[in-house]
């Protein structure tokens, strides 16, 4: 039905281990639920299971913090080993305070603690962001399309905080098969006004909506979003990271 968007959680995916093939877990979950993928479906997966499958885990006891990390850790009341990894995964520190490091990651994301945390991972380990989230999305999309014969899109999500507002929301850190922005520039609104700057971040909207069924405590790291109208695209999330010279806030 036109205008109807459906989100199907993929249940029964086991705890992902390094080296696991996510495509196999997703296909097994689909089979168990009696769901089949359709053309233009968007498969959404959380960063954490992508990172775990790619072995982006670090054992805390193996980390030897640098002097800089140790100084910052004392100031922020954080584990110096965690701070060391945050700095290692970052281009620069944007802000610091309240026990948080806001950094620019090697991907160009501005986020707290370089996206590193210990939630939903085994005790004693830190999970890092995927090295190349768009590439991870592309590989998963191609594997799913080969297995199903359908034209699909993949979005990888992570939870980010937001300036000026409390709370968190899921955003896209990687995508493939879908244009990340919906470009409405040059079209007119219902009142006849020409739109000059309107570019909804469609992949972020999908990520945020998906979190409604992929709750952090639910052990549901993937879902299928159906009914979203989007343009096929392969540019990835990295192409919508705003250039520093155009950013008024850093």
Task: State the chain's mean pLDDT as an integer.
Answer: 92
The token duo for 113 is 């603690």
Domain limits, CATH 3.30.1330.100, in the chain? 6-55+130-246
The CA–CA distances, whole Å, from 94 to 72, 90, 129, 132 equal 14, 10, 18, 22
The pLDDT tens digits for 59-117 are 999 999 999 999 999 999 999 999 999 999 999 999 999 989 999 999 999 999 999 98
Q: Where is 69: in which H helix or E strand?
A: helix 67-76
pLDDT score, position 1: 46
Name the pLDDT band for 162 (thresholds 50, 70, 90): confident
Domain limits, CATH 3.90.1660.10, in the chain? 58-126
The pLDDT tens digits for 173-193 are 999 999 999 877 667 777 777
The CATH code belonging to domain 6-55+130-246 is 3.30.1330.100
> What span, in angstroms and rounded, lies between the C-alpha atoms of 166 and 32?
38
> What span, in angstroms and rounded, lies between the C-alpha atoms of 51 and 174?
12
Name the pLDDT band for 53 (thresholds 50, 70, 90): very high
Q: Are 189 and 195 in contact (CB under 8 A)?
A: yes
> What span, in angstroms and rounded, lies between the C-alpha atoms of 39 and 151?
5
DSSP 34-46: T----TT-EEEEE
Which pTM value belongs to this model?
Answer: 0.93
Q: Where is 94: in which H helix or E strand?
A: strand 90-97
pLDDT above 80: residue 250? no
> What span, in angstroms and rounded, lies between the C-alpha atoms of 33 and 196?
44
DSSP 135-164: HHHHHHHHHHHHHH----EEEEEEEEEETT
> What span, in angstroms and rounded, lies between the C-alpha atoms of 30 and 43?
11
Fold of the CATH domain 58-126:
CofE-like fold (3.90.1660)
């Amino acid at each position: 039905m036109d205008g109807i968007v459906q989100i199907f959680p993929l249940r029964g995916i086991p705890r992902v281990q390094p080296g696991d093939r996510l495509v196999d877990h997703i296909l097994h979950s689909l089979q168990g639920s009696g769901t089949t993928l359709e053309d233009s479906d968007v498969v959404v997966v959380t960063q954490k299971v992508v990172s775990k499958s790619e072995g982006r885990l670090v054992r805390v006891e193996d980390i030897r913090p640098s002097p800089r990390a140790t100084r910052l850790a004392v100031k922020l009341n954080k584990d110096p080993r965690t701070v060391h990894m945050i700095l290692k995964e970052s281009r620069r520190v944007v802000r610091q305070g309240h026990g948080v490091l806001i950094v620019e990651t090697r991907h160009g994301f501005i986020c707290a603690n370089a996206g590193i945390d210990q939630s939903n991972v085994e005790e004693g380990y830190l999970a890092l962001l995927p090295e190349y989230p768009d590439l991870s999305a592309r590989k998963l999309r191609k594997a799913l399309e080969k297995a199903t014969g359908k034209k699909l899109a993949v979005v990888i999500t992570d939870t980010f905080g937001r300036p000026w507002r409390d709370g968190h929301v899921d955003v896209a850190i990687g995508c493939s098969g879908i244009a990340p922005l919906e470009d409405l520039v040059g079209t007119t609104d219902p009142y006849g006004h020409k739109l000059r700057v309107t570019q909804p971040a469609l992949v972020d909207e999908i990520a945020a909506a998906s979190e409604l069924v992929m709750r952090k405590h639910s052990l549901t790291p993937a879902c299928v979003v159906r009914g979203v109208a989007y343009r096929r695209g392969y540019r990835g999330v990295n192409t919508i990271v705003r250039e520093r010279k155009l950013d008024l806030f850093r």
